[in-house]
Amino acid sequence: MYNWRMMGRIMSKATFLFVAVNLLFVALRPEAASGSPSTILPSFSLYNHLYPGRERLPYGENPVESYNLSLNSIPAMFASHHLSQPKAADEFRVIILGDSGIWGWFLPNDETLAGQLNAMGLETAVGQRILFYNLGYPIMSLSKDLLMLDEAMHYDPDLIIWPMTLESFAVGRQLDHPILQHNPARLRPLIATYGLNLDGDDPRFVEPDFWQSTLVGQRRALADWLRLQQVGVAWAATGIDQVIPADIPPRQSDFEEDLSWQNFAEERTLTAVDLSFDVLRAGLARAGDVPVLVINEPIFISSGENSQLRYNLWYPRWAYDQYRALLAQEMEGQPYLDLWDSVPPDEFTDSPVHLTATGTAVFADHVREILPTLIHQ
């Protein structure tokens, strides 16, 4: 029969175990004090084991319909991706960075840039299979690309393809997104190592205190990890990882009489300091001996009202033209493709960089053509 003394002992032991587990959780995560999400459970995944690895990084706000969700743990994201599978002996591994256009907004996996390149069945001169891995993520920030590149280097890439556009160079938006703000422990070493023009003490960085670093304090990150495992069952059965509407909204073709871009209200002369070229240089340095193909990705070019002032909703002609010149100068002597006007205007969907499957095929053909010059064996 239970008595109050026995109940007290049970409660004391339970409290001790609860505290001990939380302390152990913090002790096993020394990076927690620097603001990095949980990295213990995310290192385990049902993807690539119980069900296949995802073909693109998880992203989405509707897990019920798209069997996908956004989370801030980079280890969990990569653990769910098929890149985390062991590299085959006959594999030439290519990772593709980039924004939502590369991720494949409104495109199924087989119609993305990586999907169409893989469908070509390309091989190296010595018979290695060239496999392309989609590491695009729907944020326009070179700092985000650098963050993904830094993690991807642990997966032994043989070549890196890095499409980019002017929006990703905007200095003011480098740390705008939660995935950057929730990973200061990963960004600070990059800022310090490469001398980036970013504030390692930016007030937007999420800095959990001791209790927020415990198992209880990390319950949101752990819940996201668990939900990602749960939706994997439906995703594996259907292949659906985003909701693609029957009628995709068109990109804007007519504009106001406006010359503004980002925080510049009027036309001015841009210099390399006005754009995040330091982050681009850091990415090239982080790649080390792995070749990097930088691509100025295709953009929508309007012929509508005030198109003599703006190429599209995002870019006034003065800013984009200067950016192209600065980027070409920066990439002199490096592998580089400028594909800005390579895709017909009708092959863009709802934004200046979102392509149709046909437009993506044009993009993929240009990449295929240059590959032999990048693969030296």
Cβ distance 53 to 81 under 8 Å? yes
How far is 135 from 159, CA to CA, in rounded Å? 13
Handedness of CA 229, 233, 236, 241 (dihedral sign): negative
Cβ distance 174 to 198 under 8 Å? yes
pLDDT given at position 252: 96
DSSP string, 193-225: HHT-SS-TT-TTS----TGGGSTTTTHHHHHHH
pLDDT given at position 22: 44
pLDDT given at position 224: 85
Amino acid letter, 237 = A
Say which residue the tokens 């990602």 belong to. 228
pLDDT given at position 3: 62
Cβ distance 181 to 204 under 8 Å? yes
pLDDT given at position 376: 73
Domain boundaries, the chain: 23-374
Q: Whose CA is closest to 309, among 318, 301, 300?
A: 318
CA atoms in the 13 A half-sphere facing the CB of 208: 26
pLDDT given at position 192: 97
Architecture, CATH, for domain 23-374: 3-Layer(aba) Sandwich (3.40)
Say which residue the tokens 């469908």 belong to. 119
Q: What tens digit of pLDDT does each residue of 40-78 get?
A: 556 789 999 999 999 999 998 777 788 999 999 999 999
Residues belonging to the chain: 377
Q: What tens digit of pLDDT does each residue of 132-189 get?
A: 999 999 999 999 999 999 999 999 999 999 999 999 999 999 999 999 999 999 999 9
Cβ distance 335 to 284 under 8 Å? no
Among left, alpha and beta (phi > 0; psi -120 to 50; other), residue 332 is beta
Residues of the chain with pLDDT under 50: 7, 10-11, 13-28, 30-38, 210-212, 215-217
> How many CB atoms lie under 10 A from the CB of residue 256?
10
DSSP string, 261-324: BTTB-S-----GGGBTHHHHHHHHHHHTTS-EEEEE-------STTTTTBSSSS-BHHHHHHHH
How far is 196 from 100, CA to CA, in rounded Å? 24
